[in-house]
Every structure is written in structure tokens, then in C-alpha cells.
Amino acid sequence: MNRTAYWWAVGLLLGSYSVQAQPSLLGRDLEVSLRNGYLNLPPQGFYIKRIIEAQPPQRWLGVSRRGIFGSYRMMVVPQGVGPDLAALLGRVLPASPTAQPLVLRITGINASALASNGQLNSTAELAAEYYVQRPDSSYYLLARTYGNDRQLVTATPEQSSPLLLATLLQQSLEQVARADWTQPGPAYSLSQLRQPDATPYPIRTEALRMGIYRGFFEFRHNQPGRPGNVTVDARAYRNTEWQGKRAVNPSVLTPEGKHVAVTDAWGFCDGQQVYIQFQGEYYLLEQRGPNFMFFAPDFTRNSNGRVLNAGPPRKAFSLDMRSGLITDYQGTEGAAATLATRPTHLIVYRRRPGPALPVSVDDGPTGQLGADQYLSVPWQAAGQPVRLCVGSACLDVVPDPNAPTYVELLPEATARLVAVPAKQGEAQVTKLAGR
């Protein structure tokens, strides 16, 4: 049995490598403590006088799951992340008259612990800033640190996550000890430090970095744990249901010049696009509003026994950027509130040169369309007209509930959108997908 057929057969029985859950299916909270962490630090010339959380005071760390049939549970710190870290650091780095007091500003702290091949796949990240108070009561930035890690362990989630976070905290403090205290950074007031951190995740703002993501946090921070030259062997699907999508088989180039298949990863980036592993296969991640989404086979509706290349029903999933949870795609702001039982799609494409143009449906932004590209927008088949716009060109269309609706941005001097017959659109999008 080939790899695709195997996963098709067991799709209803196995959980995915990624985190898939509906909030209503979460079990009771799992309490964890950060107070008793172990830090192997020699005496330092500083201590942490104050901790500021750049986000609202946080109790929630992330998601855990023990066993492939266990329920997902939210890991929470009952007394709050800030107070727990203050207790830990007060014990490890006690205040003294000769030590420099620092303000620790936590800009990100998260963890997850999920069953994987009989072990616990524990991941965590910690982003922190350290400030020194000036005589005028302002604060200057001494160091900014970020770290994430992933370990396969046999411990429980309530044991593994605090241990991994303690390791990241120790690495962060070691960076502070090595910082150049003679070169103070920008100055801030205490009220500025208390302002919520609205910085977008690096995966949204930075140029994509090629490599393998070992976990969700590496993806979100645009920091592949295994940087390298990743190549993709892709083939276009030849059916209406999967029109405009491609099956991909990634490989990484070794120093010896060999291509080794990527089989055990959260996802990867080939330098141009990002892919996520879901139920044993890799799927293209596309940005939609505040989250990312992708299409994958709907195993729950596999009633006809068709294998992947024969055109199984497909379903849209959403990747939550806060938790890493994968849930049913609910559309972007301004789009339909829910998808139909069998979602239809608006597929807009262009074969004209020029810069990328914004795409919107009923004034709801859905992405961008560059030269020789296509964009597939899931939509509820309500039989009602919607307004599709690419840049300044707009067209009112009625999505077909039984097949994708194709629209082309014509390669003319004045941009114009036109509806295209399904067979013609399918052929042209297939050609674009194969490039």
C-alpha cells in the first residue's frame, strides 16, 4: 500500500502530527507550575526586580494531549505566568546590594506537549526583553532574546513543559550576562514598557527563510530549526475538486549532494511558499486574515473509497496563529460565517504581468494575486451574488454550489475581470499550477 493510500485508510483513526481540535472538544484544563524550575546558573551581577507581561496577564501556556485518543487540554498556570516566573527568579537570582536590578519584559511564552509515536513531542518558546533603570527613572534596553526548542520525552506534559521553558529561560539569562552593558540601547518610560506588544509574528513580516520547521513556534517565528536547501517535487491534481492545488514531496539537499526526503517535520519552506504536514501529507499554507489556512482531504466524508489522486472531497482548515490549533476554516472577516457541507470555491487567476494586486470578496480581504498566479477562495454556496475585486477591477458573480467558479483578470491595458467557463478555467489554472 502506498503512503497516500495508507493515510487515506487510517485517517479516521489517527490524530495528525499537527494539532487538530475544536474548542468544544477540549478536556478540562491541565494545571502546570513554573515556580519549581531548575536553573543551573552561577551567581550573576544582576537580579530581576520587576516582571512585565507585554500581553494581558497570562495563565494559558498552550495545548497538551497524552495518547492519540486522548482529549486536548489547555495547560494553565493557576497563579499566572508572571507571578510564577517572579517566584522562580527570586529564588535563583536573589536581590543583593551589589547586584544590578533589571526589568524583565515577557513578549512571548508558549508551550505544547503532544503525543507522537509513543513519546511526548514537547515544544516551547520564550521571547524576552531586559531593561536597566537610569538615574532619571527611564529604562534602556539591555538585551532582547528569543529561543524555542523541541524535545521528544517520556515525561508528562505538566513535567516536560516547565522543564523546557526553564531551559529557555536559562539560555536567555546567559545571553544577558554576555551583553555589553557599556552600550545602552533606546530609553523608555515605565508606562511604555507596560504597553501591550502589537508586533506581528515574523512569519508575516519577514522574507521567508528556507528550511524545515520542527514545530509550530519555529514556523511562527520564521526560524526553521533545520535551515537548508529544500526542494519540492510537485504534481498538479487533474480533477475539479482539487483544481489549482498540487501534491508535494519535499526533500532536503545534504552536504554530500544527496536529496533526502522530508518525512518527520511540522512543515517546511522552500523559500517561496510554506507547507504544513497534516495526516501524513504536506499542504500549502495560505494567509487568510489573522490566520493561515490550507486544504486537505475530508476523511469524515470518504464514503466512495476514492484515493487521493482520484479526487477525494476536500475541506478547508484554519491554523490559529496564537495556539497552533487546526480547526475547520470559518472564513475571513467579511466572508461567509461558515462553509457549506461541500464548500465551493472562487478561483481567480491572471496571466498578465505586473505587481501583485489585493484580492477581496464582498470587501473582505482574501489575499494577493501576482503575475501568472491563481487564488482559490472557499465560499459558502448560497446562490447569492458576491463582489470579487482584484485591485481596481471588480465583478459580481454567483458562485456555483456544484463546481468551482473561475474568473480571469484579463491581460489588457485596462484591468478587467471576466467569468470563464469551467473547462477553460480548469485547463488554464492547471497550466499555472504546473509551472
Identify whether residues 37 and 163 lie together within a single domain: yes
In a domain, 252, yes or no: yes
Q: What is the pLDDT of residue 170?
A: 94
In a domain, 8, yes or no: no
Q: Which residue has the higher pLDDT, 148 or 68?
A: 148
Please state at what angle helix 81-92 crosses helix 157-177, rounded to 10 degrees.
60
C-alpha 418/C-alpha 406 separation (Å) is 9
Q: Given 329, 359, 381, which residue is the final one in a domain?
A: 329
Identify whether residues 344 and 325 lie together within a single domain: no
In a domain, 27, yes or no: no
Q: Given 134, 169, 193, which residue is the final one in a domain?
A: 193
Among the residues of 194-288, which ranges form H helices?
202-205, 216-220
In a domain, 38, yes or no: yes
The helix/strand/coil state of 331 is coil
Identify whether residues 170 and 74 lie together within a single domain: yes
Q: Which residue has the higher pLDDT, 189 or 328?
A: 189
pLDDT one-digit tens code per residue, 330-383: 654 433 333 333 446 788 999 877 888 898 887 778 778 888 888 877 665 455
Identify whether residues 354 and 303 lie together within a single domain: no
pLDDT for residue 10 is more than 50: no
C-alpha 375/C-alpha 354 separation (Å) is 16
Identify whether residues 144 and 119 lie together within a single domain: yes
Q: What is the pLDDT of residue 192?
A: 87
Least reliable range by pLDDT among 102-106, 282-286, 409-413: 409-413
Radius of gyration of the chain (CA): 24
Q: How confident is the model at residue 75 (pLDDT cuts 50, 70, 90)?
A: confident
Identify whether residues 309 and 376 lie together within a single domain: no
Considering its fold, how many domains does the chain have in total? 3
Q: Given 193, 217, 237, which residue is the final one in a domain?
A: 193
Q: What is the pLDDT of residue 52?
A: 92
pLDDT for residue 212 is more than 80: yes
Identify whether residues 433 and 317 lie together within a single domain: no
In a domain, 59, yes or no: yes
Least reliable range by pLDDT among 156-165, 296-305, 312-321, 367-376: 296-305
CB within 8 A of 279, min separation 6: which ones? 7, 11, 14, 16, 17, 296, 297, 299
CB within 8 A of 219, min separation 6: which ones? 203, 213, 266, 267, 274, 276
Give the range of the structural domain holding residue 321, as residue numbers without chain letter: 206-329
Percent of the chain scoring above 70 in pLDDT: 77
pLDDT for residue 121 is more than 50: yes
Neighbours of 334 (CB within 10 A): 13
Identify whether residues 55 and 147 lie together within a single domain: yes
CATH number for the domain that contains residue 398: 2.60.40
Identify whether residues 279 and 371 lie together within a single domain: no
Neighbours of 47 (CB within 10 A): 16
Q: What is the pLDDT of residue 101?
A: 94
In a domain, 53, yes or no: yes
pLDDT one-digit tens code per residue, 155-179: 777 788 888 899 999 999 999 999 9
Identify whether residues 37 and 176 lie together within a single domain: yes
In a domain, 16, yes or no: no
Neighbours of 355 (CB within 10 A): 8
Q: What is the pLDDT of residue 246?
A: 61
Q: Give the residue among 332, 248, 327, 321 at the shortest CA–CA distance from 19.
A: 327
Q: Is 173 exposed, middle or buried (0-12, 13-18, 19+ CB in 10 A)?
A: buried
In a domain, 66, yes or no: yes
Q: How confident is the model at residue 196 (pLDDT cuts 50, 70, 90)?
A: confident
Q: What is the pLDDT of residue 380?
A: 57
Identify whether residues 37 and 186 lie together within a single domain: yes
pLDDT one-digit tens code per residue, 19-62: 444 433 456 788 899 998 889 888 788 999 999 988 766 778 88
Identify whether residues 42 and 67 lie together within a single domain: yes
pLDDT one-digit tens code per residue, 222-250: 989 888 888 887 665 555 455 556 667 88
Average model confidence (pLDDT) for the chain? 78
